[in-house]
Amino acid sequence: MKPSKPISRRKVNGSQIVWMAALFLLLFNYPLLSIFNKPTYVQEIPLLYVYVFGLWLGIIAVLWGMSRLPKGRLK
């Protein structure tokens, strides 16, 4: 068997990180937070906490996914 060629990963651009940071700052801004600041619960967890924690996990997942794409996929 031939050894498989390692996948060359792309490096995330500084401008891409800045755009993602701007997007997520908008999502953490007051108007959207006020939409989720209601006395509603999701399995006994306040809706605002679910939104903030889910958004935080989303940030991590998107940045991780961007760094794991092979070269040439995101330009």
**23-48 pLDDT tens trace:** 999 999 999 999 999 999 999 999 99
3-state percent helix, strand, coil for the chain, nearest multiple of 5: 55, 10, 35
Instruction: Assess if residue 59 is contained within a domain.
Output: yes
Q: Is the pLDDT of residue 5 over 70?
A: no
- Domain count for the chain: 1
Q: Is the pLDDT of residue 73 over 80?
A: no
Other C-beta atoms within 10 Å of 50: how many? 15
Asked whether residue 64 is domain-assigned, the answer is: yes
Domain that holds residue 61: 14-68
Asked if residue 5 is part of any domain, the answer here is no
Task: Specify if 24 maps to a domain.
Answer: yes
Please give the residue that has the higher pLDDT: either 66 or 27. 27
Amino acid symbol at 13: N
